[in-house]
Amino acid sequence: MTYRILDDAGLQDWLAEQPELSKRLGGTASDWSIREVSDGNLNTVFLVDGPAGALCCKQALPHVRVAPDWPMPLERALYEVRYMRAVASAVTGLMPELFAYDADLFLLVMECLTKHEVLRSALIADRAEPGFSALIGAYVAWTVQATGWVNQPFETGARLLEQFSGNTALTRITVDLILTDPYRICDRNPEPEAGLLDDVKALQTDQILHRAVGQLQDRFLTARQALLHGDLHTGSIMLDGTDVRVIDGEFATMGPIGFDCGLYLGNLALHLCAAPQKAAALRAEMVAFWRSFSEELRSGLQNGSGDMWALSGSAGRQDLIASFLRDILRDTAGFCGLEMIRRTVGFAQVADYSLCSTENDRLLARQKALQIGRTLIVKGASLRSFDSLLFLMGL
Ligand code: ADP
Ligand code: MG
Ligand code: MG
Ligand code: MG
């Protein structure tokens, strides 16, 4: 079958021809109900309910879903599948199970998270059960252990590099939207609100900031430490009570570990700017993320068998782990700052700012995010502890 954009009826017909998937749903096609839930920028997502079970079906479109005149290669679905396959066994329970992939339709069929809610929405509605960040920290550490040169023979990384280096269309989005556009005049940037014009202009002319952004571009494009999720914001996480899942790995690429950490923390920090009354709870989440990430990674590396450890005895290994974690922290700070700025003035902004009750509050929240973002980008490279990162956030 050749590619076609599926609607409810098209998906129902296709599913009816897949015995394994039909069996998971139960009954016959007429018993199934299908609804579209797409809320991301790129793809179409359908949830299918049957008498015996439910499925989530995600199809890549030949363009950006929210900008149909922006073409986008279909192959991103393949990279999402490869990512799920590369990390699934390392992150058991933290990702929906993949049931099928149709290479002609660029369609993934996975476990349906029926009772889960997207973390960003849960945060906005103030109904996220505290503690989720410890699981996200463990998730990142486990993906690093499974894919990173630090814990694997270099051949593992070489193979992953080969599998993911073709994901250039989505890496291009990262390079443009996160690492470049907010710092230049560009058609993709939305018109800023009037009160923010001077701040946006400052981003475009700040030489010190531009030099630090350039260094982060270099880190992103040249540090091949581990397989990144690549889009680990609070809209790529779903939760149901204490059950936490990471979705949407289509941006996967080999890169600096601090990129995933920074995007995640940056989205918590954006929420903090929009809802400063939640500072204590958000600080606790950030601390829990970093503690869990660094402890999981440290304990994995203590017994790690990557080539990196061949020369160091146990004392040397402690030193090497500490300096490795410090370098990740520095990247984390920088990418956190980039995420805060791009989600505040760039193409894809965040709904968290809707929490501000007046226009002036919203302006102040955005200015705060830009200020913290700049500080993290410019000062991140000399950080020595996670506490000092929190300090730069005013926490
Ligand atoms: P995009 O790549 O377009 O951002 P996502 O993978 O983020 O697509 O999915 C878009 C939305 O679909 C999510 O925000 C979520 O509401 C829903 N969704 C995605 N995966 C699942 C799943 N496995 N189960 C239930 N809902 C899902
Ligand atoms: Mg998404
Ligand atoms: Mg989404
Ligand atoms: Mg996506």
- The reported pLDDT for the residue numbered 124 is 98
Q: Which two tokens stand for residue 274?
A: 């929009």
- The reported pLDDT for the residue numbered 316 is 86
- The reported pLDDT for the residue numbered 306 is 81
- The reported pLDDT for the residue numbered 305 is 79
| Atom of ligand 1 lying closest to residue 236 CA | 7
Q: Is this model's pTM higher than 0.95 or not?
A: yes
Closest residue by Cα to atom 15, ligand 1, is: 118
Contact 241, 195 (CB under 8 A): no
- The reported pLDDT for the residue numbered 304 is 80
- Boundaries of CATH 3.90.1200.10 in the chain? 117-392
Q: Which two tokens stand for residue 333?
A: 């700070």
As beta bridge partners, residue 155 has none
- Cα(374) to centroid(ligand 3), Å: 26
Strand 63-64 to 67-71 pairing: antiparallel
Count the Cβ atoms, other than its own, within 10 Å of residue 174.
24
What is the ipTM for the molecules in this complex?
0.97
- Cα(134) to centroid(ligand 3), Å: 21
Q: Does position 212 have pLDDT exceeding 90, yes or no?
A: yes
* Ligand 1 touching residue 97 (CB < 6 A): no
Q: Measuring CA to CA, which residue among 340, 323, 328, 327 is closest to residue 375?
A: 340
* Ligand 1 touching residue 112 (CB < 6 A): yes
One-letter amino acid for residue 234 of the chain: T
Look at the chain and count its residues.
395
Mean pLDDT of 15-38: 98
Q: Identify the nearest ligand to the CA of 37 by its number.
A: 1
- Cα(239) to centroid(ligand 1), Å: 12
* Ligand 1 touching residue 55 (CB < 6 A): no
Instruction: Report the alpha-carbon angle 26-98-40, nearest 5.
Output: 100
The CATH superfamily of 117-392 is Aminoglycoside phosphotransferase (APH), C-terminal lobe (3.90.1200.10)
Contact 157, 101 (CB under 8 A): no
Q: Measuring CA to CA, which residue among 63, 58, 61 is closest to residue 101?
A: 58
Residue among 36, 65, 118, 247 to mutate when testing ligand 1 (max atoms within 8 A of CB): 247
Element (H, E) at 331: helix 314-345
* Ligand 1 touching residue 96 (CB < 6 A): yes
| Atom of ligand 1 lying closest to residue 96 CA | 23
- The reported pLDDT for the residue numbered 313 is 80
Give the model's confidence band at 75: pLDDT under 50 very low, under 70 low, under 90 confident, else very high.
very high
Element (H, E) at 237: strand 237-240
* Ligand 1 touching residue 247 (CB < 6 A): yes
Query: What is the chain's percent helix, strand, coil content, to nearest 5?
Result: 55, 10, 30
- Cα(118) to centroid(ligand 3), Å: 7
- The helix-helix angle for 314-345 and 207-222 (nearest 10°) equals 120
Residue 299 CA, distance from chain mean position: 24
Mean pLDDT of 254-277: 98
- Cα(248) to centroid(ligand 4), Å: 5
Spatial CB neighbours of 73, under 8 Å, sequence gap ≥ 6: 62, 169
For domain 8-111, give the CATH number: 3.30.200.20
Report residue 276: phi and psi, to 5°: -60, -20
- Cα(173) to centroid(ligand 4), Å: 11
- Boundaries of CATH 3.30.200.20 in the chain? 8-111
Over the stretch 157-183, which tens digit does the pLDDT of each residue have? 999 999 999 999 999 999 999 999 999
| Atom of ligand 1 lying closest to residue 111 CA | 23
